[in-house]
Structure formats: structure tokens, C-alpha cells
Amino acid sequence: MPSADPTHHLPAARRKPDVNIDLARRFYATRASTEALAAPLSPEDCALQSMPEASPVKWHLAHTSWFFETFVLAEHLRGYAPFDPAFRVLFNSYYNGVGDKHPRPERGLISRPGHSEVLAYRTHVNAAMDRLFSGSLPPPVTALIELGLHHEQQHQELILTDVKHLLSRNPLKPTYRSRWPLQQVKPHCMAWHSFAGGLATIGHRGTGFAFDNEGPAHEVFVGPFELASRPVSHGEFAAFIGDGGYQRPELWLSLGWEAVQARGWQAPLYWERREHGWQTFTLHGMIDIDPHTPVCHVSFFEADAYARWAGGRLPTEFEWELAARDVARDGNFLESGALHPMPPLGDVSSQSPLQMFGDVWEWTRSDYAPYPGFHPTEGAVGEYNGKFMCSQYVLRGGSCATQASHIRATYRNFFPPDARWQFSGLRLARDAS
């Protein structure tokens, strides 16, 4: 891999502004982090696709290089030669403005190029970026590179969630990482935090990176509400199952009940009932559920049904952002290496809700819709978020597979209401009494 500082070989008088050097360092650190996530896997692991919604790791490795090649290098590096022109179609995800693309459900059929060739593709793109960083970078180019870094961080999380689903389908239940992070976990009683609500400014404002769907900032009226001090735990969700939660249609939205019936849902994804109780599949293998850690791999439908059973509701994304804006981002992220939701780090008597960031993405009751005044970015990169603003729900806060530098209070993740393979959980809300 090229040097983490691509200007190290230049005389001081010719070195580019510090902002470009910092961008280059973050570029190579991000690229290395992606490859480190793939390192425990065999080429066979990296080639398989376990369901249409997931992608092979090899595809993630290639697509994140395709992004920089297509939107940065091909447009802004004089004389750039593509590694292989066929990759423009093979590793295009959903950018219709770029041209044809290989069908998503068939990404696992791309046996060639092989794993080693995809790694060579990454090296080729990195070397070309090295040349780009040695020149002058106008603001539109640095903005594209910044977008590419956050795009690659999203795919780092997808690598882990997709690999987890893949390994769970193997009858041997192999592990991605053999070190189990949890010791004995103490229970944390749930408390409630009150918020007065009122007219609140929602959305990203000020400096720093944000995706286009996080803005523009706008005012929203939020009624008084209460938010639980922590996410719902595995043990609490097991009580919902024990009370017949998956057999009671009155708890479910109509489409949710249809999903339960059609797909035979009886518990969150990866749960298996054993003689002594519930077990779940993790990136560390099969383990007994710990009742005091946040439940994950539940759909919006399951989250909504649980909230109704528990006498609460899901928060709106505006309530969630209002509660999270002054909370420190000190949760359990990818950097911890746990790769599984952990117990709260703080005291339940804290003045702020715990675990707002990290551990599990928290479903909200809000449709994924454009904010007032939203306009997609011009060009093909404008397809990044805007065209998905239909039939999806917003999740907030990041997970144990999210990079800490990737998340913020205004971040809007989104998935269809039946999606379960992400590290998705829930936190209860209720109207102020």
C-alpha cells in the first residue's frame, strides 16, 4: 500500500496544504481498515452471497474502489487508465447515471475476477489516488473524496453484517472472530428521561461532513415526550416472545403480521431455541443470549410490535435527534472489536439517556422522507440517497459495527420495515404524562 502520507517525498516548499495531507492520511487509513475486516476470511468466504439483500465481501472490496475510480479518478486525474473497463458495469451498485450494472441478486455469481485480482484493483486505485493527492485538489474534488470515505465506512459495516448472515447459513456455524467479548453482565434497570419538546431545529448545520439527506436544517415542533434510558434488552424481548408476542395479531401492523405469517418469524433473526433457553448466532459463533445487552436483528415490524406490547411506542426521528444532540459519542463502536451489543457503560441515573450511539441502530417511527427544501446533489452521486426516499424507515445512532468517526446526531440510516440482518434494535418512547 502507498505511504500514509503521499507527500512525504516532496520538498517542504512543494507540499500541499495540510487539509489535503489529512485527507490523504484518512483515505489510506480507511482503505486499510476495509482490508483488515476482510483479512480473517478465506477467498471462498469473500465470494459467496447468502441472500439478495447482501453482497459478497469481494464485491464490497471492489465497489468501494469503483467509487473512487468512477467519480474521482476518471474525472479528475489526467491520463488515468481504468484497471479493467469491464469493472464499470460489474461493480456499479445502483448509479443509473453511470450506465449498466450487474443485477444485485447475482453478485455471488461473479466468480471472476478472483479475490487476488480485486485486491490488485484496490492497489491500482490507491496508487492513482497517490498521484492525485500530490497535485492541487479543488474543493469539489475534496468533497467527492470525503463522500467516498464515508461511503467506504458504510460498506465496512455491510461487510460485517453480510458476513454474519453468510456464516449463519453454514451448518458448521463458523466464527469470524473467536474472542467472545462479554464477561458477566449486570442488569441495568430502565428509567425514563423527560423532554419538554417545543420548536426544535432538526438536521445538519455548521461545519463538518454530512450526507445530503441530513439537511437542510429546518424547524419541527416536537411535543413533550419521554425516552427510555437505554435500548430494549435481549431479556426483555425474550419476555415478549414468552408472552406469545409472535402469535398475537393485535400487537402488529397489518403488513408486519403478514410478514410473521408468511416467513414464520418466531424470534429475532439468528435466535434458536435450545433445551436450556435461547441462543443466538454472533460473529463469535453461537452463544446464549445475555438478557442484559441490547437486542438486535429485529425488523421495524418487530420493534413496533414490542413497543406496543410494552405500553410504549417508537420515537420519531425528531425526538431521537433532540434527545441525542448533547450526548457524547462514547458508545460501543467497531473500534472496540466487540462486534456485538454490550451493556451500558454509564449509570442509569445519568442525566442523559445511555447508549444513544453505538451498539444497535435504533428504529424510529419516521418514514424516510426528504426534509423541506431537500435537493439531491447534481450528477450521478445525487442518486446516493434521494431516490430511496420511499417505503423505508429511519434508524439512528450507529451500531457495534459502525466506525465512531462515521456517526453523528443528525445521521439518518434507512431500511425497509422487514429488514433484520443489520444490527438494528429499539428504544422505547412515550408521550409525556
Helices (H), 268-335: 300-309, 317-324
Look up residue 118 and give its three cell numbers.
480485486
How confident is the model over 222-260, as pLDDT tens digits?
999 999 999 999 999 999 999 999 999 999 999 999 999
- Indicate whether this model's pTM tops 0.85: yes
The answer to whether residues 268 and 237 touch, using CB atoms and an 8 Å cutoff, is yes
The answer to whether 410 and 204 are in contact (CB under 8 A) is yes
Q: How many other β-carbons are positioned within 10 Å of the β-carbon of residue 232?
A: 25
Ranges in the chain, pLDDT < 70: 1-19, 182-184, 346-349, 383
In this prediction, residue 2 carries a pLDDT of 39
Query: Does residue 56 have a cis peptide bond before it, meaning omega lies within 30 degrees of 0?
Result: no
What is the structure's pLDDT at 9? 38
Q: What is the pLDDT of residue 6?
A: 43
The SS3 of residue 219 is strand
Backbone angles phi, psi at 100, to 5 degrees: -65, 160
